[in-house]
Amino acid sequence: MVTPGSGAGRVRWYAPSFPHRHRSSHQGDTPMLHRPALDLRPVLLTALLLAFAASGTVAQPVTVCMPAFFMDALADLEDQHGDLRLVGIDDDLDPNVCDGLIAGYRGVEQYLTADSKLRWIQSNSAGVEGFLEIPDLRDSDIVLTNAKIIQGPEIADHAFALLLNFTRNIKAFNAQMPQGWNTDRALPMIELRGKTALVIGLGGIGTQIAQRAAAFGMTVLGVDPKDIPIHRDVAYVGKPDELDDLLPRADVVFSSVPHTPATEGLFGARQFELMKQDVYFINISRGKVVDTDALVAALESGKVRAAGLDVTDPEPLPTGHPLWTMSNVTITPHLATISDRLEERRTRLLRDNITRFATGRPLRNVVDKQVGY
């Protein structure tokens, strides 16, 4: 648990009310005499300050380091929390001044020195596998948080954009635009209502996908290793060992799992073979959860009717790779997270977590570094 130094030694002293002692003469209306109360406040305050100083718990500033472009939107937090200091990352920054760090995983090693006082890292993305490949971070007490909550809505929208591109044959009609109005109207149009969606990974992104699938009138099944509470949009949630049983029931398979050792290569030849004929496969998680050669074979055989991919393995795909030229594949360059409101949500999350860090409260989106999400 993060226990920032801010506020730990701050003394907030309230003066006690000392009652006056009354001298009673019992002589009619003679006014009572009042002895002024002894004002012990300066003495007590001095004693408290000396005690805190001796114990080493006098409040120390909490320094959170971040990319400079976040500074303007968050600068007012310093006024709200007197012990908080925000520092923009530049070439002159001493990494050892940072108690908290907002960053991507590249270059994080420089903050993990023997003199480091780093206690918290906020990832800019939902996926954190890059951080967890750094042993000094993975095996440390540093708390790692991610951006899974803020990226769910737009990634789910993107997943359905990839799906609708095929079910409504947008890609094919777009290719026929040079022919004008005289296009091939016999292209199939697939209705989603009544179909079954299998969402593999019901975290911050998967639950948003499930919500949209239910809104389209689909029956939603899920797979997740956690005990997911009853969800109005999901008819059934199975454990990972039930995946093979659920795959044959799905008309659309959404991959929204994090990339961990347990999920690498999750979708291989066996899994594609278990899927329904003409299934749609949508991957907006990580490329390495899919065996690319197995996916190509399933697409070529017609087992998988179409694939919408925001991620690939390798990434980017090399020039000449068969996925680039398949008419039943749409690839977007790992940008499903982008939207016109992303920075608004990101700033809201950063403000919340920085405030929590500065005041010693539990952080949001804490990653289990041993599990990978």
**pLDDT above 50 for 52:** no
> Stretch 164-185: mean pLDDT, rounded?
87
Distance between CA atoms of residues 218 and 233, nearest Å: 9
> Stretch 140-150: mean pLDDT, rounded?
92
Chain centroid to CA 215? 24
Report if pTM > 0.85. no
Distance between CA atoms of residues 210 and 160, nearest Å: 11
The dihedral formed by the CA atoms of 63, 372, 285 and 104, expressed in degrees to the nearest 10: 20
> Domains along the chain?
62-148+342-359 (3.40.50.720), 152-331 (3.40.50.720)
The pLDDT, as a whole number, for residue 235 is: 97
The residues carrying an active-site annotation are: 286, 315, 334
The pLDDT, as a whole number, for residue 91 is: 87
The pLDDT-based confidence of 43 (bands split at 50, 70, 90) is: very low
